[in-house]
Amino acid sequence: MEDINYIKHLNGVFDRFSRDSRLNPTHISLYVALFQFWNTNYFKPEFFINRDEVMQYAKIGSKSTYHRCIKELDHWGYIVYAPSHNPFKGSRIKMFDFGTSAGQVVDPSCTDIGTSSGQAVLPINKHIQTLENQKNNNKPRNFKKLDVDGLENRNKQQTSVPYRDNLKTKKHKNYNEPL
């Protein structure tokens, strides 16, 4: 049984997923399903899987999609896949530890000597909010006010309904009468 930090591993592998343009959602779903089976097997170096169970966990409906994705994950270095042609044994899977750090990750700029015993506080880069929209600087500022009511009345068809405010959306509402 390996000593795997669940959160660090998932953070590490999702960081790697975000940088890999070859992956699609099916690859990620399959990896997460395999990770769950690895967790169920107490993070043993190798474990055996049943294709139908993994497909059900990963929500994959096609055997060809399953085989394509698991072979690609093996080829790209996310797992080691050894297929079994024995339906009673199952295929052998070896997972790698992507949570490579043993301790807490600390930003070296937080202290004078570059180490810290406390939790690191890292800056969060947020978009700077301005009062002015930067995308629309080239648009003219003074628009002529159009006669919107006149346009609406010309384009609408005349209806035979005497009371047009069926939802009673006028400002002066009587809350005692039903809708």
Q: Delimit the domains of the chain by residue range.
A: 6-95
Rounded Cα–Cα distance for residues 170 and 156 (Å): 20
Q: What is the reported pTM?
A: 0.57
Closest C-alpha to 95, from 54, 43, 49, 42: 43
Residue 134 has pLDDT above 60, yes or no: no
CATH 1.10.10 fits 6-95, yes or no: yes
- Predicted pLDDT at 3: 80
Handedness of CA 163, 165, 171, 172 (dihedral sign): positive
Residues 157-177, mean pLDDT to the nearest whole number: 64
- Predicted pLDDT at 108: 45
Higher-confidence residue of 63 and 164: namely 63
Residue 77 has pLDDT above 60, yes or no: yes
